[in-house]
């Protein structure tokens, strides 16, 4: 039996190869110089090797403790290597895998609410059917049992639940806990058993304000006092998302540090953008007038402060303000659609310019790689035309065709 080495002797082992450290413990040194532990043992006259981790992350004492534990497993008649490969029943249940998946992916999700939403939806709709089942035991019929009760009544929720089940079962497969086709896959699987979500229930888009009603609404908003009316006017004039202007629970909205009055530009940082790219908004003279008015109410760095300290204006407040100026079903987010309709039908703006004004990603990755310009000057012309239209006394039939982007 190899003599047991001391920690100092182990530290000096640098030559490539396997160095016996006593009791079946070996330090493996590669030609590149990396070192790791191995436990070598025999079972039924057959040699086996079990990795114990990298050195010095796993020290000599910890490696010897691991060897002792594995020898106890051998003494009990079990194979240490087989014990490692066999997942415990509790760890392979769908609910346990759900929690592992969420924990592993949470750092990469932009919305901090996503983890809670994933867990809540799966707990509500999937756990009763498959929560305690092993991943390898879940079948297409099990997934259908989850989805069928809600596919026609809560279609969008059902669509998300299906995608989340698929992701978790893919995670289980990557861990070696199940094999074969994913029973929650859509293409080539559930698409033969369930109707397409879009055919079950049409997706309701945010109601937009009719283009011809925009000037009247702006006139009423201008006569309305308060920061909410100013915020809605600014949202209309910049065609931005409401959260980008007023903020939400995750982050503040527009700040005075983002506003460049000299160059008449509002620069929205990438962290606040859906496409995760910085976006420059050329400010029309009407938008600058709004900023001049709201500057009189300045409390802190936020352009549109909420009614309570450190709290943003709520979307409900903005919606109520809009509805008082323009009775009907229009939503604040739908105002972006109003701008897009005006840009296409009245301004006859080039598609690239109109989409860039909305900070939409257009074209393939290759096309975007070559389209380096953000069309700022063409968008400046478009946004000024929009400001003139939105604040006009009488809507014009058309504003004339804008220049094509170069």
pLDDT score at 401 = 52
Q: Are 313 and 306 spatial neighbours (Cβ–Cβ below 8 Å)?
A: yes
Alpha-carbon span 305 to 291, nearest angstrom: 12
Residue 247 has pLDDT above 60, yes or no: yes
Residue with the bigger pLDDT between 200 and 340: it is 340
- Lowest-pLDDT choice from 135-144, 166-175, 218-227, 391-400: 391-400
**Looking at the structure, do residues 56 and 183 belong to the same domain, yes or no?**
no
Domain boundary among 54, 85, 116: 85
**Looking at the structure, do residues 288 and 355 belong to the same domain, yes or no?**
yes
**Looking at the structure, do residues 124 and 264 belong to the same domain, yes or no?**
no
Note whether residue 130 is domain-resident: yes
Alpha-carbon span 60 to 36, nearest angstrom: 11
Note whether residue 399 is domain-resident: no
pLDDT score at 371 = 46
Query: How confident is residue 374, by pLDDT bands cut at 50, 70 and 90?
Result: confident
Question: Exposure pattern of 348-375 as b/e (b: 16+ CB <10 Å)?
Answer: ebbebbbbbbbbeeeeeeeeeeeeeeeb
Q: Is the dihedral of CA 235, 240, 243, 244 positive or negative?
A: negative
> What does the block give as tokens for 303?
């352009």
> What does the block give as tokens for 148?
């069928």
> What does the block give as tokens for 256?
């005075």
User: Which domain range does residue 265 map to?
Assistant: 211-390
Alpha-carbon span 146 to 121, nearest angstrom: 11
Helix then strand then coil, % of the chain, to nearest 5:
50, 10, 40
Alpha-carbon span 286 to 214, nearest angstrom: 14
- Lowest-pLDDT choice from 74-88, 189-203, 279-293, 354-368: 354-368
**Looking at the structure, do residues 384 and 286 belong to the same domain, yes or no?**
yes
Q: What is the CATH number of the domain that holds 272?
A: 1.10.443.10
pLDDT score at 88 = 53
Residue 79 has pLDDT above 70, yes or no: yes
> What does the block give as tokens for 305?
């402060």
pLDDT score at 301 = 87
Note whether residue 406 is domain-resident: no
pLDDT score at 362 = 56
Q: What is the CATH number of the domain that holds 17?
A: 3.30.160.390
Note whether residue 205 is domain-resident: no
Residue 248 has pLDDT above 80, yes or no: no
- Distant-in-sequence, close-in-space partners of 253: CB < 8 Å, separation ≥ 6: 243, 244, 245, 246, 247, 272, 302, 303, 304, 312
Q: Is the dihedral of CA 98, 104, 108, 110 positive or negative?
A: positive
Domain boundary among 85, 120, 145: 85
pLDDT score at 76 = 84
Note whether residue 1 is domain-resident: no
Query: How confident is residue 275, by pLDDT bands cut at 50, 70 and 90?
Result: low
The DSSP output letter for 326 is: S
> What does the block give as tokens for 328?
């009907």
Query: How confident is residue 398, by pLDDT bands cut at 50, 70 and 90?
Result: very low
Note whether residue 380 is domain-resident: yes
Q: Dmax over Cα atoms in the chain, in whole Å?
A: 98
Q: What is the CATH number of the domain that holds 137?
A: 1.10.150.130
pLDDT score at 25 = 92
Note whether residue 13 is domain-resident: yes
**Looking at the structure, do residues 181 and 248 belong to the same domain, yes or no?**
no
**Looking at the structure, do residues 263 and 188 belong to the same domain, yes or no?**
no
- Distant-in-sequence, close-in-space partners of 18: CB < 8 Å, separation ≥ 6: 26, 27, 28, 29, 38
Q: What is the pLDDT of residues 160-201, one digit of tens each?
A: 999 999 999 998 888 778 888 999 999 999 999 998 876 665
pLDDT score at 181 = 92
Q: What is the number of structural domains in the chain? A: 3
> What does the block give as tokens for 388?
């003139």
Residue labelled with tokens 């893919």: 170
**Looking at the structure, do residues 48 and 99 belong to the same domain, yes or no?**
no
Residue 315 has pLDDT above 50, yes or no: yes
**Looking at the structure, do residues 288 and 368 belong to the same domain, yes or no?**
yes
**Looking at the structure, do residues 370 and 226 belong to the same domain, yes or no?**
yes
Q: Are 357 and 239 spatial neighbours (Cβ–Cβ below 8 Å)?
A: yes
Query: How confident is residue 369, by pLDDT bands cut at 50, 70 and 90?
Result: very low
Residue 231 has pLDDT above 90, yes or no: yes
**Looking at the structure, do residues 223 and 250 belong to the same domain, yes or no?**
yes
Of 69-78, 203-212, 371-380, highest mean pLDDT: 69-78
- Cα 31 to chain centroid distance, Å, stands at 42
Q: Are 234 and 249 spatial neighbours (Cβ–Cβ below 8 Å)?
A: no
**Looking at the structure, do residues 193 and 226 belong to the same domain, yes or no?**
no
pLDDT score at 52 = 86
Domain boundary among 52, 85, 118: 85
> What does the block give as tokens for 72?
């106890």
pLDDT score at 365 = 46
Residue range 245-262: average pLDDT?
86
**Looking at the structure, do residues 272 and 161 belong to the same domain, yes or no?**
no
Q: What does the mean pLDDT of the chain come to?
A: 85
pLDDT score at 204 = 53
pLDDT score at 274 = 61
Residue 211 has pLDDT above 60, yes or no: yes
> What does the block give as tokens for 154?
């809560």
Residue with the bigger pLDDT between 365 and 51: it is 51
Note whether residue 340 is domain-resident: yes
Residue 3 has pLDDT above 90, yes or no: no
């Amino acid at each position: 039996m190899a003599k047991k080495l001391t920690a100092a002797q182990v530290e000096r082992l640098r030559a490539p190869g396997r160095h016996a450290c006593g009791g079946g413990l070996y330090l493996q040194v590669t030609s590149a110089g990396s070192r790791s532990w191995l436990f070598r043992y025999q079972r039924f006259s057959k040699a086996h090797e079990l990795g114990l981790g990298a050195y010095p992350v796993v020290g000599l004492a910890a490696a010897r403790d691991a060897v002792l534990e594995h020898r106890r497993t051998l003494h009990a008649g079990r194979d240490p290597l087989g014990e490692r490969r066999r997942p415990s029943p509790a760890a392979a249940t769908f609910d346990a895998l759900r929690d592992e998946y969420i924990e592993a992916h949470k750092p990469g999700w932009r919305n901090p609410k996503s983890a809670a939403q994933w867990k809540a939806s799966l707990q509500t709709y999937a756990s009763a059917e498959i929560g305690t089942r092993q991943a390898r035991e879940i079948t297409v019929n099990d997934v259908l049992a989850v989805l069928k009760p809600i596919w026609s009544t809560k279609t969008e929720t059902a669509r998300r639940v299906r995608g989340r089940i698929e992701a978790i079962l893919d995670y289980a497969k990557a861990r070696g806990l199940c094999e074969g086709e994913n029973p929650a896959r859509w293409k080539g699987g559930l698409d033969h058993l369930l109707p397409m979500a879009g055919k079950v229930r049409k997706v309701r888009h945010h109601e937009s304000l009719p283009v011809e009603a925009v000037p009247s609404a702006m006139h009423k908003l201008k006569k309305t006092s308060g920061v909410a009316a100013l915020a809605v006017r600014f949202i209309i004039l910049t065609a931005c998302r409401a959260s980008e202007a007023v903020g939400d629970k995750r982050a503040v909205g527009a700040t005075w540090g983002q506003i460049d009055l000299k160059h008449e530009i509002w620069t929205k940082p990438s962290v606040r953008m859906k496409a995760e790219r910085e976006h420059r908004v050329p400010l029309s003279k009407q938008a600058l007038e709004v900023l001049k008015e709201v500057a009189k109410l300045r409390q802190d760095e936020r352009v549109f402060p909420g009614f309570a300290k450190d709290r943003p204006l709520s979307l409900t407040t903005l919606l109520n303000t809009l509805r008082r100026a323009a009775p009907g079903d229009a939503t604040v987010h739908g105002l972006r659609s109003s701008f897009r309709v005006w840009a296409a039908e009245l301004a006859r703006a080039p598609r690239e310019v109109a989409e860039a004004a909305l900070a939409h990603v257009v074209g393939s990755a290759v096309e975007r790689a070559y389209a380096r310009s953000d069309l700022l000057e063409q968008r400046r012309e478009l946004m000024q035309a929009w400001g003139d239209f939105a604040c006009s006394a009488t809507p014009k039939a058309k504003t004339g065709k804008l220049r094509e982007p170069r």
